[in-house]
Chain A
Amino acid sequence: MDISSKRKKWKIRHDRKSMMLKVHFKEKRREDFRLGRSRYTPSFLSEPQGSTNYHFLKAPDNFSLVSNENEVLAFIDEINSYYQKKEPVFINMDTVSTLGNGAILLLLANMILFREKGINFNGSKPNNITLRQELETSGFFRHLYKTGKDGMNYTVGTPLSKIYTHAQKEVDTEAADRIIEVASETVWGEKRRCTGVQRTLIELMHNTNNHAGSKKGEKHWWISSNRDQKNQVATISFMDFGMGIFDSLNNKHPGDLFYGWKDLFSKFFPWADSSDKIMKLILEGELHKTCTGKSYRGKGLPGIYSAYKKGKLGKLIIISNRVYADIGNDDFHLMNGNLHGTFISCEINNTIFNLPWV
C-alpha cells in the first residue's frame, strides 16, 4: 500500500470519527439545554441572538385558537407577560399535535414583537412529522429573521405554500386576490373568483387600518391561508392586534356616533347584557342602526355576516376581546381570556358563491 492510499484511508476514518463526535456532542448539548443544564442555544425556531436566559413555556398540544381558545389565549397572555418584562422566552412545541392558522399568526406576530424589541424568542419544532414538515415547507422558520426591522410588511411562505402568512398595514386588495386565486385552485382545480371572500378581506383590512389603533394605519393586519388539498378546502384566517371590537367601541370619544353606545343600546335591547349577546346584534347591523338611525346593510362586520348568510363564504368564526362566535353553529359565548384584537376565520369550499376567473 502506497503512502497516498494510506493517507486516504486515514482521512476517511478521521472524518467519520469527527462526524460521530460532532453529532454526539450536538445531541448532548441539546439534551443539556432541554434540561436547563446549559446556556447553549440550539437552532430551533431561529438562531439565538444575545443572552439566552430563556423562560421555558410549553405550547398547548391543541394549539388552535378555533378549537382550544381558552388554553391558547392563556398561553399567549403568558408570552405577553414576558414581553412586557422584556425577558426572552423559549416555546416548547414538541408535543403540539394540532396547529391552527390562528395560532401560527399569534406565534409569528409575537416573534416579531419580541424581535423588534431585541428580546430573544425561540422554541422547538413539533415532534409530529406532518406538522413539522408543513411548517418547514411553508418557509415559516426560514423567513422568520429575514424580514425588515422597520416592520411595515411581512411575508412568510408564498401564496403557493400550504401555509402562507402576510402582514401589512394598508388595504391590499391584490394580496387578498392572490390568496383567493391560489385557494380556489385547491378547491375547484381552477382559478375562480370569490367576491364574498374578497369583500370580507377588504372590510377586515379596512377595519384594521381605520379602527385598530389610536390613529389610522397604525396596526398590522395578518392573513394566513391554509390549503387542504385532500378535502378541497382552504381556510383563510385574518387577525389584527388592535383594540378588538368591544374595546374599540368603548374607546370612542365624545362627538363620535358610537360614543355612549352601551347606554343607548341597553334601552333598545335590555336583554343583551353581555358581549356575546351584543356581538350577534352587531353582526345583524342593529348597533349601527341604533346609534346612527341608518340601515347598515352590507357594511363592515354586518357585511361579512351578510356575505356568509348568502353563501358567499364558508364556516365563519369571529373571536374578539372576550367573545367567541361560531356563526354557523350559532355558538356565541364568552371566553375566559381576552384576545387583544380580532381574529376571523372563514372557508373557501366548493359550495360557496364563485365566478369564473377574469
Chain B
Amino acid sequence: MGVIVSILKDFSRIPGPRYVSEGKFSGEQFRKEVLVPKVKEAMESDSEILIDLDGVSGYGTSFLEEAFGGLIREEHIPYEFLKTKLKLKSEEDPDYKDEIWEDIENAHKEECK
C-alpha cells in the first residue's frame, strides 16, 4: 500500500460539519489540509491511497460528502483515479464505505451533466 491516511491520527477524533464556517474539524478542512495533499502524492507516485475511517467518535453525512464528494466537485480529482486507487478501511462501521462511494458516484454524475 502506498499512501495511508488515518482520520483519527492525521486529522481529528471528532470530525465536524461540512464547512469551516460551520464549526471545527470540518470536511472542507480535512479535504484541503489532509486529503488533497495525500491524494496528489498518490497520483504522482501512481500508488494506492488507503483511508482509515476507524477510531473516531462518528461522522456526520456532510463531513463525508464534502471531503470525498468534494474531491471531484471542488478539486477535480479524476473519477477513474479514485475508482481504481482509493481504498477505504472501516472495520468498525462498514456503512461508511458505502456512503462515501455513493457520495463519489453522485459527485461524478453531477460533473458529467
| A positions within 8 Å CB-CB of B | 170-174, 176-177, 180, 193-199, 202-203, 205-206, 209-210, 216-217, 294-295, 297-300, 303, 310, 355, 358
Contact = CB atoms under 8 A, between A and B. Distances in A.
B108 to A, nearest CB: 13
Interface string B1-44: 00000001000011111100111110000000000000000000
Contact of A202 (B8, B17, B65): B17
A173 B24 contact: yes
Contacts of B14: 173-174, 176-177
Q: Across chains A and B, which 3 residue pairs bring their CB atoms closest together, nearest first?
A: A198-B58, A202-B60, A171-B17
Given A174-B14, A206-B60, A310-B95, 11 more contacts: A176-B57, A194-B58, A195-B92, A198-B58, A203-B61, A205-B23, A206-B17, A299-B61, A299-B62, A355-B92, A358-B8
Contacts of A174: 14, 24
Contacts of A171: 16-17, 22-23, 60
B22 A173 contact: no
A298 B61 contact: yes
B79 interface: no
Interface residues on B, range: 20 to 34
A144 B68 CA distance: 43
B69 to A, nearest CB: 12
A180 B57 contact: yes
Contacts of A205: 17, 23
Chain A contact surface mostly: helix
Nearest to A172: B23
B46 interface: no
A303 B99 CA distance: 11
Nearest to B17: A171
26 contacts: A170-B17, A170-B22, A171-B60, A172-B24, A173-B15, A173-B16, A173-B57, A174-B14, A195-B57, A198-B57, A202-B16, A202-B17, A202-B58, A202-B62, A202-B63, A203-B60, A205-B17, A206-B18, A206-B22, A206-B62, A210-B22, A217-B22, A294-B106, A299-B65, A303-B61, A310-B95
B52 to A, nearest CB: 12
